[in-house]
Chains A and B, each alone.
Chain A
Amino acid sequence: MIRFFLSRLLQAMPVIFIVITATFFLIRSAPGGPFDADKVVSQEVIERLNERYNLDAPIHQQYFDYLSHLIRGDFGPSFRYTNRSVTEMIGAGLPITFELAIYAIMIALIIGISAGMLAAVRPNTAQDYIPMSLAMTGICMPSFLLGPLLVLVFGIWLQWLPVSGWGYSPGDKILPAITLGSTYAAYIARLTRGGMLEVLNQDYIRTAKAKGLSTSKIIFKHALRGGLAPVVAFLGPAIAGLLAGSFVVETIFQIPGLGRFYVQAAFNRDYTMIMGTTILLSCLIVFLNMLSDLLAVWLNPRLTLDAKH
């Protein structure tokens, strides 16, 4: 266990380091700086701003300065929003994005797994075709299309639910969570169906039938753990995708989460903010991948932590 964590940590370090370095030089090699947009300010002011934010130093100097601050846990001040530090802004945005992501993944898992199981139990019947067609619709209806359509139908035409915000009015969390979760529900449904079908064809399911077990016992006791293996393997990438997807959903529903900050920061050349969010998201993804590997090992006695990589 400890060896697993240590080796994963050792693997994660270079990844994070590459992310930091690549992002740092990528944004600085871009034309334009953080203060270009403000046409009104004079050259003198820009120089002073550059000096204040350490932008006049040679680039490698800036890089090492940034790293040394980072090690102390300081993401620096936001270039865009004076008087606010990146840490502060992340602290405000992260819980919202996290909450949204958790609702979405819950929706995706609950709907996806039950739909996939229903389909797998009676393949090639209506019980299979209907949920799977819905799943295909979910995959072909990306969040940036589904979101506006949901807003149009439930927010504007029917006026059942609020169309924007997060935690301002009752029910305003419903549409964003569904929008973000639906695509993943669809993928999970397909993966569950595939995994369950494969397991249900195994000899040991026949053994279980020969013991006199009922269909539901066979499914829940003998098939589910093996059948969910593909879903578990998908969880890591899914959560990474979910975080990226939150950019769109947060933009559509005007939710002040991390994703929206990131997109804005990218447009505004808010260097420190970009760096902060990128690093944070990378760490999250690495961490969540590790969790999904742990889960896979926990579910399957044939895997051991050391054997994986």
Chain B
Amino acid sequence: MVFETRSILAQLATDTRDIMELLNVNNLSIAFDTRDGKTQAVDNISFNVQQGETLGIVGESGSGKSVSCYALMGLIDKPPGHIERGKALFHNVDLLSADEKTMRGIRGKRISMIFQDPMTALNPYLSVGAQIIEPLLLHEDVSRNLAKQKALTLLEEVGINDAASRYYQYPHELSGGMRQRVVIAMALITEPELLIADEPTTALDVTIQAQILELIKDLQQRRNIAVIFISHDLDVIRYMTDRTLVMEQGRIVEHGQSQTVFNSPNHSYTKKLLASIPQQAKPVKFKYTPKKNSPLLSVNNVSISYADRSSRFQAVNNVSLKLAKGEILGLVGESGCGKTTLSQSIVKLINIDRGEILLGELSLHKLNTSELKQARKNVQMIFQDPYASLNPRMTVFNTLAEPLKIHRLAESSDIKKKVLNLMADVGLDPCWANKYPHEFSGGQRQRIAIARALAVEPQLIIADEPVSALDVTIQAQILELLLTLCQQRQLTMIFISHDLAVVRYIADRTAVMNQGKIVELNATETLYQEPTHSYTQQLLSAKLSG
């Protein structure tokens, strides 16, 4: 096998002209068979990649941005996928029609890939080192020892300290950021000419994301490799790429120099995408004017801990905050900082160890069952995952009618009217009331979840990452809806997110959490413009801005 691969490589190498164009994709169309017939995933796209440049492909989910790159690598399962037509020339080899043997010689040797989720992209059964040297042993005639030396050097280069001992560890023993570094090392060990990075930082926290992006940029420049960078995140694409393709529903709607595309977009979809990024401060019309009245919610010195296998983990550590009626408080922090735990204690999904949570005059964690049921009417929650937060076996109507019935908020003859009104309020067509959650899109489901929270006419809403699972244009719609509803109904809200831009857009005041503590709490604009705590400064500097 080594021999055959080599002869192909030799043939490829004879092409010694100093061409600038590394990859030329022409009229690529890909379709998938589904139960409801054929779906056109990629529709007649053409693009090229120059040596040493970074090409960004940006688009929302289902736009075909990943599928087209998987096709280049021959990673599409056929069936159900079909490459209907097109050519992808890489050094005179058509990647779409080349036989499996030729492709194996190219994959991992001349074109490498980095994947979205470093948690699942590494084989949990093999040590990190074995996985890094695997492409090298496969494609080049090197000894295991030499391969290891090379891997260790590379591990240092991608920023893993103590490479010699990490080499023998298994993926589950490394943090997410570290695993992504390993994946990058694995992709670069054969010194490929083209690197395809498929959403390489989407699963990572913002500070880690900044480090990984910096690393990819640095390596790309040092080694002069071409990179295709796929992302839904416009800021990331703007920061990383020389040229950008914008994809919508399988088509390239706009392409050009990244500067141009982002500064003066031509196509309406690009404009819509760019307008959807919450960049500015909260719109003035939604601004909350502080009033002198007693707080609606007071969290006083609350601590919460989990029993781990051997030790106790302090998830929330002596946190206090107050919310006035009508105010929106943003709660920002990275994963594991305790923001979700804190929010769940406010709706009493979990118990607190110390402190108290006052809703008006009521101490939420000291109520008996019937008092608690009454109190629950006033505090509702919107969850992150619109797919998991709705009971799949209940129609929208039943989902929305349930809280009305439980709290006897409507006569049975009135329930229908109330439910349909609610649906209209959140922008859902009332004639969908008999449909089930799986028949709706993610954004529509989140609207249902919002309607459910509003059904009992609560005073306080806790929204835990309500838009992070949504595409950017949908995200903008949902944020707009939340702001409108809060204003119309005089709602108070705690808005939890890891996304700094979103929080800036929606919150009147913002609290930053780190390791179970609120490290900074201030009026949103003040906090964003003049952060005082070092962690807030670190977070804000990790955020990419155009």
Contact = CB atoms under 8 A, between A and B. Distances in A.
Interface of A: 202-204, 206-214, 217, 221-222, 225-226, 299-302, 307
B122 interface: yes
> 7 tightest CB-CB pairs across the interface, nearest first?
A211-B108, A212-B108, A212-B107, A203-B120, A204-B123, A210-B113, A301-B170
A207 B105 contact: no
Contact of B104 (A206, A214, A226): A214
B238 interface: no
B109 interface: yes
Contacts of A212: 103-109, 135, 138-139
Contact of A301 (B1, B109, B134, B172): B172
Contact of B120 (A204, A211, A225): A204
A207 B122 contact: yes
A211 B121 contact: no
A301 B125 contact: yes
B90 to A, nearest CB: 14
Given A203-B117, A301-B170, A208 B124 contact: no
B25 interface: no
A203 B108 CA distance: 16
Residue from B115, B124, B125 whose CB has the most chain A CB atoms within 10 Å: B125
Contact of A226 (B108, B125, B139): B125
A211 B251 CA distance: 28
A206 B123 contact: no
B75 interface: yes
A214 B117 CA distance: 23
27 contacts: A202-B120, A203-B117, A203-B120, A203-B121, A204-B120, A204-B121, A204-B123, A207-B123, A207-B183, A209-B73, A209-B107, A210-B108, A211-B107, A211-B135, A212-B104, A212-B107, A212-B109, A212-B135, A213-B104, A214-B104, A217-B138, A222-B123, A226-B124, A300-B124, A302-B170, A302-B172, A307-B309
A198 to B, nearest CB: 13
B134 A211 contact: yes
A63 B93 CA distance: 82
A163 B309 CA distance: 57
A221 B126 CA distance: 9
A207 B115 contact: yes
A222 B123 CA distance: 7
A208 B104 CA distance: 11
Contacts of B108: 210-213
A214 B1 CA distance: 10
Contacts of A213: 104, 108, 134, 138
A299 B109 CA distance: 30
Interface string B63-77: 000000000011100
Contacts of A204: 120-124
Interface string B95-116: 0000000011111110011010
Contacts of B121: 203-204, 206-207
B107 A210 contact: yes
B186 interface: yes
Interface of B: 1, 73-75, 103-109, 112-113, 115, 117, 120-127, 134-135, 138-139, 170, 172, 183, 186, 309
Given A209-B75, A211-B135, A301 B124 contact: yes
Nearest to A300: B125
Contacts of A207: 113, 115, 121-123, 183, 186
B75 A210 contact: yes
B126 A222 contact: yes
A301 B139 CA distance: 27
Nearest to A208: B123
B60 to A, nearest CB: 21
A126 to B, nearest CB: 15
A225 B109 CA distance: 26
Given A208-B123, A211-B138, 7 more contacts: A204-B120, A206-B75, A207-B113, A207-B115, A207-B183, A211-B186, A212-B105
A302 B121 CA distance: 15
Contacts of A225: 125
A226 B125 CA distance: 7
A301 B183 CA distance: 19
Contacts of B115: 203, 206-207
B546 to A, nearest CB: 32
A202 B186 CA distance: 18
Contacts of B183: 207
A214 B108 CA distance: 12
Nearest to A206: B75
Nearest to A210: B113
A27 to B, nearest CB: 44
B275 to A, nearest CB: 33
A77 B181 CA distance: 69
Contacts of B104: 212-214
Contacts of A222: 123, 125-126
Nearest to B104: A212
A206 B112 CA distance: 12
A155 B290 CA distance: 95
Nearest to A301: B170
A212 B138 CA distance: 8
A225 B127 CA distance: 13
A297 to B, nearest CB: 12
A306 to B, nearest CB: 9
Nearest to B74: A209
Contacts of B106: 212
A211 B74 CA distance: 11
Contacts of B139: 212
